[in-house]
A and B are shown apart, each in its own frame.
Chain A
Amino acid sequence: MNGTVPKAGLARRLIVVALVLTAILISVMYIGLAVGSAGGGWRAVLQILIGSDEAHLLHDIIWRLRLPRVLLAALLGATLSLGGMVFQALLRNPLAEPYILGVSGGAAIGAIVGILLGLSRFPGVWMMAFAGSLATLGVLFLMAAGRTMLRANTLLLSGVMVNAFCAAVIMFLVSMAQDSRLHNIIFWLMGDLGNATLGNTAILAATVLPCFILIFARSHAMNLLALGSDMARTMGVNVGATTVLLLAVTSLMVSATVSYCGLVGFVGLVIPHMLRLVLGPDHRVLTVACILGGAAFMVLCDVLARTLPPHGEIPVGVISAMIGAPLFIYLLRRSKGVDHG
C-alpha cells in the first residue's frame, strides 16, 4: 500500500488537541485568578480554591471577583470563536464573524436604551440587549425568507444592512446621551467583563453549553457543507435543517453572551482562522479547539486588560484586537500560499 497515505485517527487527534488546549486554558485561568490589583500569590490561590485557607485576605476577592470574571471571559471567548467558525463555514466566507447577521447592532441598541433608562446591568441591560439582538435576527430571517431563503449572499447583505442601520441608531442614541451615562455606554460597546458574578455566569453557561454540544454534533456536517450544498446533500446531510439549526443555535448563544459582556470584537473573526491555519479545516477538531482556545485567548486578554494600566482597566475588546491582529498577520505570512485558511 502507498506509503504516503496517512493513518488518520481522528479520535486521537481530537484527544490530543483537547488535552493540550485544556492544559493551556487551565494555566491561563490560574494566572487570571492569581493576578490583580489586590495582589496575588500562586500558592494562595490554590489554598483558597481547595478551601484550606478560608481566612485568607484574598478569599473574597478570588471567589467574588476574579473567579466569576475569569469564567465569564472563558465563556465569552469560547462563544465568539465558535460562533465565528460556524458562520465562516455556513456562509463559506472567510470574513464572516459572529456579528455578521446583525446580532451586535440589535444588542447594542437594546443595551444602550437599557443604560439610558438607568436599568441595572443584570438583568435589566442584559435583557434589553438580548431582546434587541433577537429582534434584529427576527427581522433578518423575515427579510431573507421566501424564495432566496438562506442563500449565503442574501443573508450576508441583509446582515450588513441591519448592522449599518443599527449603527446609525446607536450614533443617534450616543449623541443624545448625558455624560454620566456615556461612559457606561462606551464601555459596553467596547466589551466589559467588570460586572461578572458567579450566579450570572452560571446562567450564561447554562445557555451556551448546550449550544456548544449541538454545534459539535453537526461539526462533520459542516465539513461536508464545505464542498457545497449539493455535495453535502448527496452525502446524506439534511442541508436545510442543518443550516437553520446552526444559524439559530449560534445566533442565540452569541446574543446571550454579547448582551452580557458587550461587543468584544475581533475574537470571533481571528481565533477560528488562526486555529484553522494551525490545525487544518476539519470542523470536528476546530469546534473543540475554538471552544478551548478561544476561552484561553480571552482569559489572557482579560488578565492584560486588568493588569496593564496602573489604575483602572482597559476594555478587554481593545486588548483582544491589539494582540489578535498582529498575531494573525504573523501566522498568515508564515503559512505561504494560503488564500484564506
Chain B
Amino acid sequence: MADAIALERLGHAYEGRAVLQDLSVQVPCGRFFVIIGPNGSGKTTLLKLMAHLLPLQKGHLTVMGRAVGRFGARQLARTIAYVPQSVPATFAFTVFQVVMMGRAPHLGMLGIEGAKDLDLGRQAMQLAGVADLAERRLDQLSGGERQRVFIARAICQQPAIMLLDEPTAALDPAHQVRVMDLMERLKTEQGITVVMVSHDLNLAAMYADLVLLLHKGHTAGLGPPGKVLDYAILEEVYGCPLVVDKSPLGDYPRVHLVPGRYMRTP
C-alpha cells in the first residue's frame, strides 16, 4: 500500500536545540497512526512538520508520494486537515460558520459555498455530534464541544489525511471514546489516514494500527501496539515504573501506572 506520509532522515531544531533527529517513518494509507512519547519528545513538532506548519530543515517529507514542498497551499489543504490542541476564539463565529470554513480550500477566494458544500457541512456536524450546536457561538462552548467542532471542520475539509494534536486531552471519558470512535469510523468508512498525537497510552493501545514511540527526538519504538507498548521499552522512555498486561476487552495491551506506595524503597 502507498504511504500517506513518509519521513526520511527528518531532523528539526529550534534555535540550535535539536528536537527531532534522523527520523525515518512511514505512515501507510488508511491506518490509524498514534504518536506517543514523554513531554518534550518532539510529538507536536513532528505533527506540525507533517502539516507543513514548520519549514523542513533536514531530510525529506513526502505526502501521498509527493514532496511536501511541491504542494501549493490550497492543494495541501485539500489533502491534509489539522486539528490543533487549542484554537483562539477571538471573534464570535457560530459553530456552523467555523465548520463551513473547512470548505475554503475547495472554494473560490471568497469561499461562497454551494448547496453541496452546505450538505457536507451538515453531514460533518452530524458525524462529530455537534449538529444541535450549529447556531451556538464558538466562544460560548465548553472545551470538549469546541474540540468536536474543530473535528467537524476537519471532516468538512474532506482530507485524505487527518492530523490531530491531543484531541482527547481536555475531554471526559465519554467524549474521549466518542472522538476516538469517530476517528476509527472515518478510517474504516472513508479510508482517511488518521495521525494523532496522544498522551494516553491506553487509547493508543485500543485504537491504533501503528504506534510511534518518540524519545528525545528519536524513534524508540514503531509498530503495532502489542509490540511497542512493552513495559521494558516504556519504562525506559518514560522513566517511571509501569505495569502492562492484556486488556480484558481484546487483543491489545493495557498500561497501568504504579503509585509510589507500591514501590519498595531499598
Q: Evaluate contact between B118 and A338: CB separation under 8 angstroms.
A: no
The answer, yes or no, to whether A223 is at the interface (CB within 8 Å) is yes
Q: Evaluate contact between B111 and A220: CB separation under 8 angstroms.
A: yes
Q: Evaluate contact between A235 and B132: CB separation under 8 angstroms.
A: no
Partner of B102, one of A220, A221, A235, A338: A235
- Which residues A1-48 have CB closer than 8 A to chain B? 1-2, 4-8, 10-11
The SS class assigned to the A binding surface is loop
Partner of B90, one of A4, A6, A92: A92
Q: Evaluate contact between A7 and B118: CB separation under 8 angstroms.
A: yes
A276 to chain B, nearest CB (A): 7
Q: Evaluate contact between B105 and A236: CB separation under 8 angstroms.
A: yes
Q: Evaluate contact between A235 and B101: CB separation under 8 angstroms.
A: yes
CA A217 to CA B109, docked complex, whole Å = 7
Q: Evaluate contact between A220 and B97: CB separation under 8 angstroms.
A: no
- Which residues A199-231 have CB closer than 8 A to chain B? 216-221, 223-224, 226-228, 230-231
Q: What is the chain B residue whose CB lies nearest that of A2?
A: B131
Stretch of A120-128, A279-287, A291-299, A310-318 at the chain-chain interface: A279-287
Q: Evaluate contact between A236 and B76: CB separation under 8 angstroms.
A: yes
Q: Evaluate contact between A2 and B134: CB separation under 8 angstroms.
A: yes
Q: Evaluate contact between B77 and A227: CB separation under 8 angstroms.
A: no
Q: Evaluate contact between A231 and B134: CB separation under 8 angstroms.
A: no
Q: Evaluate contact between A234 and B51: CB separation under 8 angstroms.
A: yes
CA A237 to CA B72, docked complex, whole Å = 10
Most chain B CB within a 10 A radius of its CB, from A89, A231, A339: A231
CA A284 to CA B109, docked complex, whole Å = 11
A79 to chain B, nearest CB (A): 21
Q: Evaluate contact between A231 and B96: CB separation under 8 angstroms.
A: no
Fill in one digit per residue for B209-234: 1 if any A CB lies within 8 Å of its CB, else 0.
00000000000000000000000000
A108 to chain B, nearest CB (A): 30
Q: What is the chain B residue whose CB lies nearest that of A11?
A: B112
The answer, yes or no, to whether B92 is at the interface (CB within 8 Å) is yes
CA A233 to CA B96, docked complex, whole Å = 20
Q: Which residues of B contact A326 (CB under 8 A)?
A: none
Q: Which residues of B contact A235 (CB under 8 A)?
A: 77, 101-102, 104-105, 157
- Which residues B76-100 have CB closer than 8 A to chain A? 76-78, 80-82, 84, 87-88, 90-94, 96-98, 100
Q: Evaluate contact between A8 and B73: CB separation under 8 angstroms.
A: no
Q: Which residues of B contact A284 (CB under 8 A)?
A: 110-111
Q: Evaluate contact between A10 and B101: CB separation under 8 angstroms.
A: no
Q: Evaluate contact between A341 and B87: CB separation under 8 angstroms.
A: no
A307 to chain B, nearest CB (A): 37
Partner of A6, one of B80, B96, B112: B96
CA A223 to CA B77, docked complex, whole Å = 16
- Which residues B23-57 have CB closer than 8 A to chain A? 48, 51-53
Q: How large is the interface on B (under 10, 10 to 19, 20 to 34, 35 or more residues)?
A: 35 or more
Most chain A CB within a 10 A radius of its CB, from B75, B91, B104: B91
Partner of A234, one of B77, B94, B110, B122: B77
Q: What is the chain A residue whose CB lies nearest that of B97?
A: A282
Most chain B CB within a 10 A radius of its CB, from A8, A236, A276: A236
A258 to chain B, nearest CB (A): 26
Q: What is the chain B residue whose CB lies nearest that of A93?
A: B90
Q: Which residues of A contact B94 (CB under 8 A)?
A: 280
Q: Evaluate contact between A219 and B110: CB separation under 8 angstroms.
A: yes
Partner of B88, one of A220, A228, A233: A228
The answer, yes or no, to whether B113 is at the interface (CB within 8 Å) is yes
The answer, yes or no, to whether A148 is at the interface (CB within 8 Å) is no
Q: With A2-B134, A11-B112 as given contacts, are A341 and B77 in contact (CB-CB < 8 Å)?
A: no
Q: Evaluate contact between A338 and B111: CB separation under 8 angstroms.
A: no
Q: Evaluate contact between A2 and B132: CB separation under 8 angstroms.
A: yes
Q: Evaluate contact between A4 and B88: CB separation under 8 angstroms.
A: no
The answer, yes or no, to whether A238 is at the interface (CB within 8 Å) is yes
Partner of B82, one of A216, A231, A238: A231
Chain A residues at the B interface, C-beta cutoff of 8 Å: 1-2, 4-8, 10-11, 89, 92, 94, 216-221, 223-224, 226-228, 230-231, 233-238, 276, 280-282, 284, 337-339, 341
A-B contact pairs, 13 of them (CB 8 A): A2-B126, A4-B134, A7-B118, A8-B113, A226-B93, A233-B53, A235-B102, A236-B74, A236-B78, A237-B104, A280-B97, A282-B93, A338-B92
Q: Which 9 A-B pairs have the closest CB atoms?
A: A236-B77, A236-B74, A281-B91, A236-B105, A234-B82, A220-B111, A2-B131, A92-B90, A235-B104
Given contact pairs A5-B131, A5-B134, A236-B105, enumerate 11 new A-B contacts (beta carbons under 8 Å): A5-B96, A7-B118, A8-B113, A217-B109, A218-B109, A223-B111, A224-B104, A227-B101, A234-B76, A284-B111, A341-B91
Chain B residues at the A interface, C-beta cutoff of 8 Å: 48, 51-53, 73-78, 80-82, 84, 87-88, 90-94, 96-98, 100-102, 104-105, 109-113, 118, 122, 125-126, 131-132, 134-135, 139-140, 157
